[in-house]
Structure 1
Amino acid sequence: MQSDISEAATSDKESAKRPVIVIGGPTASGKSALAMRVAQAFSGVIINADSMQIYGDLPILTAQPDAADLAAVPHRLYGFLRLDDACSAARWAELALTEIRAAQAQGKLPILVGGTGLYLRSLMQGLSPIPEIPPVYREAAMKLLKELGVAGLHGRLAAEDLVMGQRLHPNDTQRVVRAWEVLQGTGRSLGEWHQLPPEPPEGLRFQCWVVLPPRDLLYAACDRRFETMIARGALPEVAVALAAYGGNVLRAPGGKSLGFRELADVINGRRDGEAAIAAAQQATRNYAKRQTTWFRHQMEFGNFMSPDNIEMKFSESSLQRIFQNIRDFMLTPD
């Protein structure tokens, strides 16, 4: 028995040294292409950390991996939700942690890649230890949302949870639903849970890479990518989503995808195509600027780098330096 305990303790120590690679950065920066090369070099599994690429109805508009990428390298947490299904940072972190454990069990290197900084931070630093909420409470919350609308649900929340009622905007559907389901599922305010100290995941250590191209090159890449999306069929993709979900999709979590509202305006006859593309490109550049600021200030511990050319790709010499750094990280214990 003592031997079994000792072996278990040794196993726990070894699991604490298991590496996870994180590749973050603004949209169109080339981080997904880098993740592909790292995954191919280290037998990795790419795990999505982008809050819009989780939605399955807009693979083109959200720049999800294409069929060739999916065939070349395992990808997880892409396109698995409906546009009207909210995914909080806590929910994503739980799903990502499950995928990390699964990759490790298969002897593969987990590689998180995405531009949603809150997702990445929630996993690496941990969140308040809110217990898992049974699905029945989310289902009940969504049913109540349909019956009362978000303002009505907010009013019901405020009557039972003064703290969250005052903290949340009456039109913030995702957070109002989350606060309600936590209140009903635990009997405690989400505000109370948030006051508890975060609990980082056990058994993991992270090496972070942040891809930050020069601003002018990044903005040009944003513009090019949206034009490519249009050429690949983003407009009919949005049309199908509007037909499937109705006008309410514009207020749904997945309806916040960059360019969705602008292309919906084209379909609904409120804007011409050229003006919609220009507006969507501007919105994308604005978002990329906010992401750049976040990563610079919130992930100062990361390895910052810039692609070697305007196509947002890294040269072979740069890749080899990155690979060597990753090898050293994987072989060096905490």
Structure 2
Amino acid sequence: MGNKYKYVVMPLVVSLVILLLSGCGSEPKTETIVIADSNEASSTDQSSRPFQVQKIYRLPDRFANTGQLLGWSSGDAVIASFGAMTILKRGTLERLTYPYEQSKTIPGIGKVTSNTILSPDGKYICEVSPSSSETTLKLISLQDGKEKEIDRISTSNQSYVQYVSWSANSSYIGYLVENQADHGADSLYIYDMGSQTSAKYQLKDILKEDSLLSADIANNGRSVLLQLFGAKQGQKKVLALGKVSGKNIEFQYERQIGGDSVAWMNNDQFVFLGTDSSLYEYDRRNGELSVILEKVFDFKFSPDRKNIAYTVYDQNVTYVAKVQGRNILYKEPVYRGIVPTSMYWNLNNKSVLLQGQKQLDSSQTAPTDSPSKESLIIELK
């Protein structure tokens, strides 16, 4: 029975194979099938919303309410000092690393004063140590704890060191020296990290009635943005662009401003807040002034100047956006609930550290209610 079935089936199979082979010799039929490129679709969707919150880390309460945040020392480590409540009292320097739960004292670093400024690249701190007769500025490496004195200013003639700041590329340190005995002798000092030398420049255009507030050095060490209460402007806050000329700082541009934050975009362009809460960019090469964002309360650019974090008036919301020339694009809210008093981008431009007051809820109406601070890290995709 099985052999008989075998003999019947075999001719059928052979016939089917011959039929299929003959079909291959006929004219082929074509059909177009469109397959969506999932990678391209994902890329297009992501370009329309480049910022997405990946994770939020809340820093320990002591970092928000006890410590003094200095900034980032790497892409995943934050630096703060503890116990240095006044410039005459010293404290410890601690590092908080991912996942930002427990900090450790930085080895090899002694006690520091409250006037300690971290370099933008996270490698050094500049410490200001005053005494009854002089003020010392010292550079300390966070890698090995090595110290170098960069200047010593006598205070016997009522000179005071104020407003120490780093250039954005960590190549220069600027500091103002005000002389109370002779108002015409206010000076700006610029320390060059490369040559390890400090140069003194006279602020000839400063009046004795002016009150200096801050100094921000450009990356080339040849220009400075000075904030002051100007006597000629009725003691209103003014931003002055100054340039090194010989042994002096000559003013090239002045404008009344409304906020505290200023930032160099490059050696010729800088950004500041106007009295109308608009964010302005000024280009000294052609004298062009442009509005790049409106209703801004405060702002902070990422180290590569390609991103911005900012807050808006009357909102407890922090936004991030892309910077392309004079355009601010893809504005995204990333956190609600606090009013940041400090914002720090990490070194790889991917995370923002915020510190500020928690938002009061409706139940907190008594005068004794004082909202605590909060520090958190917004990690972006």
> TM-score normalised to the size of structure 1?
0.27
- Which structure has more RCO (C-alpha within 8 Å, separation ≥ 6)? 1
- Greater helix percent: which structure? 1
Quick check: which has more Rg, 1 or 2? 2
- Greater strand percent: which structure? 2
> TM-score normalised to the size of structure 2?
0.24
